[in-house]
Amino acid sequence: MKFYNNSHQFYCGVDLHAKTLHACVVDANGDKVLHKNFQCQEPNVFLDAIEPFRADLVVGCESTFNWYWLADFIGEQRIPFILGHALYMKAIHGGKTKSDAIDSEKIARLIRGGNFPLAHSYPKEHRATRDLLRRRTFLVRRRAEALTHIQMVHHQHNLPKPTNIKYKANRNGVGDQLPSEHARLMVDVDFRLLEAYDTQISRLELELTKAAKITHPQIYYRLTTVPGIGPVLALTLMHEIESIKRFPGVGNFLSYCRLVKGSHTSAGKNYGSPGAKMGNAYLRWAFGEAICILKRESPEVRTLGERLEKKHGKGRAMNILAVKLGRAIFYMLRDDRAFDIQLYLR
């Protein structure tokens, strides 16, 4: 975990909400010089309030759902902005009394004391593209729910489960055997949703692939040199990693991808491996999918996986292979080289 420890004359903590933001500015001695609530729709009022301190000021807030506009607004003013990791900022959530004013002051004092846990502030120019890719993932999951619901309706009426209906050519006549008119209507609605999902997913994939080939062609094609990583997984890895240079070492990268577990130890005793959800869920999914396909595409990896399964079990073996792939991709992107299966098998 990285902490912000740069020295400034003033430190501004912001407790951000959908309609309001509460700001607290403390100086280098820890004295409060500003503590006030502002409306998000009037950012210039907030800017005027911090104007006397902006010569040597840093602004920080917790990573909430709406931090984009504040980061962009502060960045346009050429004021340093830092984003706090929500899962690590437990100091602002504890205490007997909790309010926006108290939280903003705690954030400001965390920054001043060098205990502000940093999260990655994704660059503005690539942020919408990454969110568009995440939206595609959302649509794919909704599409899978519609497919599952069609099968469930057939099970409810003790009818054979339709197969391969993810392909449009296999959907003709599905649902006609259902005895209820409303049950047939449900299936018809699901099929219409599937058609809409297919159209929009294809549209997004086409746009994302075209953009990747224009903005990051080398990274995109380098990732596709890995057997098992196709266009979608390459896009996911490329946009979620953003820049391999932001990771000091391979261990930091593996931790961010949720490929390694944390540990709690005290007095020589191990108290488990918490923090399983700390990291990027999209990258963890991408590596899990990539390993399954890599085993299918590469006989060498399949043989290695079978040997690991005999020793560690299937789940542990898959995780070992995913960690090895994570290391390979880290060094691929860091050293600007293609995937080498022989290096992976070492």
Of 119, 152, 175, which residue sits at a domain end? 119
Residues whose CB falls within 8 Å of the CB of residue 322, separated by 6 or more in sequence, listed in order: 259, 287, 288, 290, 291
**Does the pLDDT of residue 113 top 80, yes or no?**
yes
Same domain for 246 and 210?
A: no
Residue 220 lies in a domain: no
Q: Among residues 345, 290, 296, which one has the least CA distance to residue 322?
A: 290
Task: Identify the helix (H) or strand (E) that includes residue 161.
Answer: none
Strand positions, DSSP E, 85-130? 116-119
Assigned domain for 222 exists = no
* Among 314, 321, 329, 313, residue whose Cα is nearest residue 346: 321
- Closest among 100, 49, 108 to 84, alpha carbons compared: 108
> Which among 95, 119, 143 is the end of a domain?
119
Q: Do residues 107 and 9 share a domain?
A: yes
Same-domain check for residues 53 and 95: yes
Query: Mind listing the pLDDT tens digit for each residue in 10-26?
Result: 999 999 999 999 999 99
CATH classification at residue 76: 3.30.420.10
pLDDT tens-digit series, residues 25-39: 999 999 999 999 999
If asked whether residues 32 and 79 sit together in one domain, one would say yes
Same structural domain, 62 and 107: yes
Q: 115 and 7, same structural domain?
A: yes
Q: Please state the pTM of the whole predicted model.
A: 0.90
Token representation of residue 76: 């346009």
In this structure, are 192 and 251 located in the same domain?
no
- How confident is the model over 213-232, as pLDDT tens digits? 999 899 999 999 999 899 99
**Structural domain boundaries enclosing 328:** 239-264+275-345
Q: Do residues 106 and 189 both lie within one domain?
A: no
**Are 283 and 200 part of one and the same domain?**
no
Q: Domain tally for the chain?
A: 3
How many angstroms separate the most distant Cα atoms in the chain? 77
